[in-house]
Amino acid sequence: TRNRYDGTGGDCDACASVRGAGRCMYCYAGRGFHRVAVMLLLALENYQCRSRVAILSATADPGAVTYPSSSPCFWYEEPAKTQRVTSPFGRAAKGVEESLQSLNWQPLQGQGHYKNPQQLVPSFTFEYPGAPTFCAYHPGIPGPISQIPTSLDWDNHLDDKLRLHLLLSTSNTAATSQLMPSTFEVNHGLLASLEAGQGMDCHDEGHWFLKHRLDSKRPRVHPYGSNTELCERLRQMKEISWKYFIVQKEIHPPMLLRSGRKFVLRAHVLAWVQPILDTEPNALRLFLHSDPLVSENAAPLDAVTGPAWASQPASALVLQSESRSPAYGLAESEELSFVRASILEQMGSTVAAVFQELHTQHPFPLAPSKSSSYQLYGLDFMLDANGKAFLLEVNRSPRIATGAMGDAHRCYTELLMQAMQILGVTNTEINTTSSEELPGPGRFGVWSDIYRATL
């Protein structure tokens, strides 16, 4: 859209109002199409004026930006799209703000209403779709520290359950291919195998779950007690929609709590892309939080098989956010204390294996930079009766602001503040551009340093 032809035959008013003299290529595609193009251009202009990328680029005029304060401060920048929640931290926002103020950080009021928000340059940002962007500034941060760009295809291999399965199943290591439950792409081959009762774990114990590849809540996970029930459901679906779903085998038998309920463990992983030297590749470090959240199903699971299995309440078979029990930390669970060490060890090795395969099969396409980037991931695990942990999914955004774990806001307050400390936002003694050799795996507060690699 930035390529323009020289004006021949005059310029239309709409094009001139957007780009000045000269006609854009859409002028030659008909008036109706051109009107749509101009609307898109106007939207692009609005987006670009708010884009932090343009602010921090090498071509930005240093005199056009200002720093909010000479002391640490934070504010919220209103999103360009419709706002769904008031803070990217959800109910943890109050705790984060109070923690920052206890460290003598100054809250700036009304920053989201600035007419020219691009004139404020934060040292650290935390973004969440549909929420104001959290911005922080500290004169001691080499900065800027921002989230890993969503435009990179790297994260798509994690957020997509099918692509995550393919990533692990194509590994040369047999153990890596068994980190997830048996997972299948929905196609005619799967349907034929189910109908014939051959292969695809059709004769194994346990049942089937039909899941959306990208979000278990669009629609919710659907359990099926037999091959026949699953086949009937697949035939009812439009074939064109098959590509959005996967089928997973039940983890059987699952580990149950004394109440007879199934449960899911939510682990949090901080990925930090840390610069070493301007002329050297970046380093990736992964930190695992040592207190995963436990979220129980709302109803107990009856140890039955056959058609009676699927006739149980859905809240006993799958985790439903609207009817589940409040989440709590694994350290608070007495009945899971005997497997806590094993759970953390398995989570750490699984996360390291996933990112190792990701790094090997899809190299991270970030050039050396003085700026560091990060991302907070939420990983869901389930245990079988023997205590083996299976990875269910990886979430790029762990739904701190709007998700099912929102009632664990006290845990999130601590988690977010510690993550900012690791990144050097609240502890500027950490040099994010140090050329020294990075330490190996170890402890960093309640986070474990579990993996590092040169990108």
Q: Provide CB contacts within 8 A for 258, sequence distance 6+.
A: 335
Tokens 């609307």 — which residue? 39
Supply the Cα-derived Rg of the chain in whole angstroms. 25
pLDDT greater at residue 320 or residue 357: 357
For helices 188-196 and 227-236, give the axis angle rounded to 10 degrees: 150
Q: How confident is the model at residue 156 (pLDDT cuts 50, 70, 90)?
A: confident
CB atoms within 10 A of CB 146: 21
Q: What is the pLDDT of residue 3?
A: 37
State how far the Cα of 285 lies from the Cα of 422, in Å rounded to an integer. 11
The predicted-structure confidence for 378-430, as pLDDT tens digits, reads as follows 999 999 999 999 999 998 876 676 665 656 777 888 888 989 988 888 876 65
Q: Helix, strand or coil for residue 122?
A: coil
% the chain with pLDDT above 90? 27
State how far the Cα of 238 lies from the Cα of 235, in Å rounded to an integer. 7
pLDDT greater at residue 298 or residue 440: 298
Q: What is the pLDDT of residue 122?
A: 86
**212 phi/psi in degrees, rounded to 5:** -75, 140
Q: What is the pLDDT of residue 310?
A: 53
pLDDT at 65 over 70: no
- How is residue 76 written in tokens? 């919220």
Report the greatest alpha carbon distance in the chain: 80
Q: What is the pLDDT of residue 130?
A: 80
Q: What is the pLDDT of residue 54?
A: 32
Q: Helix, strand or coil for residue 192?
A: helix
State how far the Cα of 393 lies from the Cα of 189, in Å rounded to an integer. 24
Highest mean pLDDT among 115-124, 296-305, 334-343: 334-343
pLDDT at 6 over 60: no
Average pLDDT over residues 435-454: 65
Contact call for residues 271 and 147 (beta carbons, < 8 A): no
Find the helix or strand (DSSP H, E) in which 380 lies.
Answer: strand 372-383
Highest mean pLDDT among 79-88, 249-258, 367-376: 249-258
State how far the Cα of 40 lies from the Cα of 30, in Å rounded to an integer. 15
Q: What is the pLDDT of residue 11?
A: 44
Tokens 């395969």 — which residue? 357
Q: What is the pLDDT of residue 25?
A: 43
Query: Does the pTM of the predicted model rise above 0.85?
Result: no
Q: How confident is the model at residue 283 (pLDDT cuts 50, 70, 90)?
A: confident
Strand partners, 183: 248
The predicted-structure confidence for 177-233, as pLDDT tens digits, reads as follows 889 999 999 999 999 988 887 655 554 566 889 999 987 555 578 888 888 889 999
pLDDT at 353 over 90: yes
pLDDT at 74 over 60: yes
Q: What is the pLDDT of residue 88?
A: 87
Q: What is the pLDDT of residue 322?
A: 55
Average pLDDT over residues 329-349: 94
**Mean pLDDT score of the chain, rounded to an integer?**
75
The predicted-structure confidence for 24-59, as pLDDT tens digits, reads as follows 444 444 444 455 555 565 555 444 434 433 333 333
